[in-house]
Amino acid sequence: LRPASARQRVDPGPPLPRLVVVVDDFDALLSPALGSPGRPAAGSVVRALEAVARDGERLGVHLVAATGRSERVLETELGQRASLRVVLDAVASGPEEPAPGRGELRSPDGRATAFQAGRVTGRIPRTATLRPTVVPLEWERMGDPPARRPVRELGNGPTDLALLASALERAARSVSADQVPSLL
């Protein structure tokens, strides 16, 4: 046995975020103009969110704000402090089928990284299939709807999110990943 001080210490890296604040449709808070009659509270909400954007990182609080139109948002302190931007591709009019979930992650230095997002939905029907079917796909086909296959309905099944969480837990156990303490 070696004394505890003689063991190699592994740098655990930065601490995990403790809180993530998600705001959907942030641009709705900005329209009509802040401070206009009928919207007196919107200004205080926006100022609070700007404070989270300004001081949150050092406190372990992170902000995710979604907007449909970025023009007005870019004028706010929150828009100016955003370190990363996710830009989803708009559905183009044309002969090609839309590819939902494709987009770019844009960093402050101008670099853009393309990605394909997944979709997590509500309950799925139970089927006679015990395991998911894995099919290799080319990048160009990543946004296509899944292939249909006949299934035998067995009633209400688990949610997609529950299946995803279970798959992630199994994957973490298979590589002996360190346990992360619960944030709750």
Predicted pLDDT of residue 184: 45
pTM beyond cutoff 0.85: no
Q: Categorize the per-residue pLDDT at 165 as very low, low, confident or very high, splitting at 50, 70 and 90.
A: confident
The shares of helix, strand and coil residues in the chain, as percent rounded to the nearest 5, are 30, 15, 55
Is the pLDDT higher at 147 or at 86?
Answer: 86
Average pLDDT over residues 23-32: 74
Strongest mean pLDDT among 7-21, 26-40, 73-87, 98-112: 98-112
Average pLDDT over residues 116-139: 66
State whether the Cα torsion 64-12-104-140 is positive or negative: negative
Strands 112-116, 102-106: pairing is antiparallel
Q: What is the DSSP string of 14-71?
A: SPPPSEEEEESSTHHHHSS-TTSTT-HHHHHHHHHHHHHHHHHHHHTEEEEE--S-HH
Decide if pLDDT at 101 tops 80: no
Given a contact cutoff of 8 angstroms between Cβ atoms, the answer to whether 23 and 66 are in contact is: yes
Quick check: helix, strand or coil at residue 182?
coil
Average pLDDT over residues 165-179: 81
Is the pLDDT higher at 1 or at 133?
Answer: 133
Q: Categorize the per-residue pLDDT at 83 as very low, low, confident or very high, splitting at 50, 70 and 90.
A: confident
Average pLDDT over residues 81-97: 70
Which residues does residue 87 pair with via DSSP β-bridges, in sequence order?
A: 104
DSSP letter, residue 91: P
> Cα(34)–Cα(53) distance, rounded to whole angstroms?
18
Q: Categorize the per-residue pLDDT at 36 as very low, low, confident or very high, splitting at 50, 70 and 90.
A: low
> Cα(100)–Cα(89) distance, rounded to whole angstroms?
8
Q: Categorize the per-residue pLDDT at 70 as very low, low, confident or very high, splitting at 50, 70 and 90.
A: low
Decide if pLDDT at 110 tops 80: yes
Predicted pLDDT of residue 40: 55
Q: Average pLDDT, whole number, for the chain?
A: 71
> Cα(53)–Cα(46) distance, rounded to whole angstroms?
10
